[in-house]
Chain A
Amino acid sequence: EAGVAQSPRYKIIEKRQSVAFWCNPISGHATLYWYQQILGQGPKLLIQFQNNGVVDDSQLPKDRFSAERLKGVDSTLKIQPAKLEDSAVYLCASSPGLSSYEQYFGPGTRLTVT
């Protein structure tokens, strides 16, 4: 079974530029999560989808971050404009559904904002 795929693996941009990350969850997984992991900290949830609907986006900085999962499969997370403090690893995770406790994580995208 293929795992969660993310691209790109690394990205360097200047502040005020925009950037997008892509995630393809495990086939058949209905629930998709985006976490932000700042260096030296644990991951923090940004947004959670169930199929193509948003379950929790309470921690998403909506003035600059957006995410979509239009067809309920893969997802894109965008930052526009980026700030220095957005430098982090962005992790995507998926789960079979809302009755599942286990989340499966992708390798992450490491973003550096200069």
Chain B
Amino acid sequence: AQSVTQLDSQVPVFEEAPVELRCNYSSSVSVYLFWYVQYPNQGLQLLLKYLSGSTLVKGINGFEAEFNKSQTSFHLRKPSVHISDTAEYFCAVSKAAGNKLTFGGGTRVLVKP
């Protein structure tokens, strides 16, 4: 079975500052990794995914994440945040295409002016 831990439940950050959201996973098999964003009263939207290849993955809205197999981590970063990035961010894993997603508990990002 897989599990996902998001180490920070809330991250306050000032506008135009960088942000990093931490995600660690546990699995007995190889997994595929995802970051989703959830804006208030909306469903989840895919930010980026790691399936194979380069460990640095670029996504939408200026986000990127780095897969580190030895540390079983998939941390999300953005060099300069905007007010509109205020949302909840979820890290997720899947063991195969078409399989369920196993989510972490989420990190709430609050961008302050």
Contact (Cβ within 8 A) B44 A97: no
Tell which of A42, A48, A55, A100 has the most Cβ of chain B within 10 Å.
A42
- Chain B residues lying within 8 Å of A42, measured Cβ to Cβ, are 4, 90, 92, 103-106
B101 within 8 A of A: yes
Interface size class of B (residues with CB under 8 A): 20 to 34
Number of inter-chain CB pairs below 8 Å: 61
Interface size class of A (residues with CB under 8 A): 20 to 34
Known: A42-B4, A48-B100. A101 touches B94 (CB 8 A): yes
Which residues of A (85-114) have their CB < 8 Å from a CB of B?
A: 91, 93, 95, 97-103, 105-108
- Chain B residues lying within 8 Å of A40, measured Cβ to Cβ, are 9, 105-106
Which residues of B (56-100) have their CB < 8 Å from a CB of A?
A: 90, 92, 94, 97-98, 100
B-contact bits for A55-94, CB 8 A (1 contact / 0 none): 1100000000000000000000000000000000001010
- Chain B residues lying within 8 Å of A56, measured Cβ to Cβ, are 100
Known: A41-B105, A103-B101. A4 touches B43 (CB 8 A): yes
B45 interface neighbour in A45, A50, A100, A105, Cβ under 8 Å: A105
**Given contact pairs A43-B90, A45-B100, A106-B43, a sample of 15 additional A-B residue pairs in the complex whose CB atoms are under 8 Å apart:** A40-B105, A42-B92, A42-B105, A42-B106, A43-B101, A44-B103, A56-B100, A97-B98, A98-B98, A101-B32, A101-B49, A101-B94, A101-B97, A101-B98, A103-B46
Q: Report, nearest first, the 5 A-B pairs whose CB atoms are least far apart.
A: A42-B103, A98-B98, A105-B43, A45-B100, A105-B44
